[in-house]
Amino acid sequence: MGKVAFVFSGQGAQHPGMGQDLSVCSPKAAEVFAMADRLRPGTSQQCFAGEQEELNQTIHTQPCLFAVDLAAARAAQEAGIPCDCVAGFSLGELPALAFAGALSDEDAFRLVCRRAELMDKAAHENEGVMVAVLRLKAEQVEEICASFSQAWPVNYNCPGQTVVAVAQQEADALAAAVKQQKGKAVRLAVSGAFHSPFMHSAAQGLREYLADKTIGQPKIPVYANKTAQPYGQGEEAAAILAAQCESPVLWQKTVLAMCADGVDTFIEVGVGKTLCGLVQKTAPDARVFQIENKEGLDAAVAALAQK
């Protein structure tokens, strides 16, 4: 068997009740939620019983998903599942860094709370949307975006799937251009045009926040969204992390880089199965598992024990 990677979920799949099962079955998961509640009272209650509309607000989504992602990873580790390296999609990069020891749980959680505030503010100041473009090559999507004044490819998810951030007033015209090229455009249910120049003020705010913070050397490799290569430490790592929210997520390249480094098993820790699907489309021979609750945890443990 090759290496095992944990990949940490991003925004989009949040739902009421997420993480509650893990908090009951795993003491290590429960510790994560207790930490989150100490620093941000009510976080676990939002995860377990919050309304969907509330969870969809960036200011709440990011801290809550951080807690569920990290809880799932700690539950997997507690159950004896090995992990050789990690990556996280967008928001998921922060719990990945905490899991790998580059940041303490507390420092990473404070950071995600600040990140949520800054990105929420930037989203309200810049009216943009995100559109998933399907059935077209990334190069075709780049060409389409180049014909608009405020449209950028921001998530290179997998072959045939690229997400675009675009100004609200240009969204319909972009969708029409995609259709003309025989592609499909699907508007995403998110509250801002993330990973684009619209997030510049948020990135600047993160640079200021991280100026006096220390990012240590990860104990296991953490592949960065911005570079598709492992993080270092110190000022260079802080610069990459701050820029992440205004830079494209190079997910397809990240998965391929991990495979080239010997990964053949990907375990999505957190909410939903989005990353499992993207991995399967990028690396069809890789094995994928998803851990969001006890059922998924038990299934992954049983399957991995057979190899």
For the stretch 138-180, pLDDT in tens is: 999 999 999 999 999 999 999 999 999 999 999 999 999 999 9
Which tokens sit at 164? 């675009």
Q: Percentage of the chain surpassing pLDDT 90? A: 94
List CB contacts of 172: < 8 A, sequence separation 6 or more: none
Outline where DSSP puts E strands in the chain: 3-8, 85-88, 128-134, 151-158, 161-167, 184-187, 222-223, 263-269, 287-291
Q: In the beta sheet, which residues pair with residue 5?
A: 85, 266
CB-CB neighbours of 42 under 10 Å: 13
Predicted TM-score (pTM) of the model is 0.96
Q: Name the nearest CA neighbour of 90 among 293, 274, 286, 236.
A: 274
pLDDT in tens, 70-94: 999 999 999 999 999 999 999 999 9
Averaged pLDDT score across all residues of the chain: 96
Give the pLDDT of residue 307: 60
Dist. CA 22–CA 30, nearest whole Å: 7
Rounded to 5 degrees, φ, ψ at 10 are -105, -170
Catalytic residues: 90, 195
Rounded to 5 degrees, φ, ψ at 19 are 90, -15
Rounded to 5 degrees, φ, ψ at 25 are -90, -15
List CB contacts of 138: < 8 A, sequence separation 6 or more: 153, 156, 162
pLDDT in tens, 186-211: 999 788 899 999 999 999 999 999 99
Dist. CA 238–CA 220, nearest whole Å: 17
Indicate the residue type of 244: Q
- Is 70 exceeded by the pLDDT of residue 306? yes
Q: Give the per-residue SS3 of 214-232.
A: CCCCCCCCEECCCCCCECC
List CB contacts of 154: < 8 A, sequence separation 6 or more: 130, 163, 164, 165, 193, 194, 195, 196, 248, 249
Dist. CA 281–CA 113, nearest whole Å: 32
Which tokens sit at 270? 């957190």
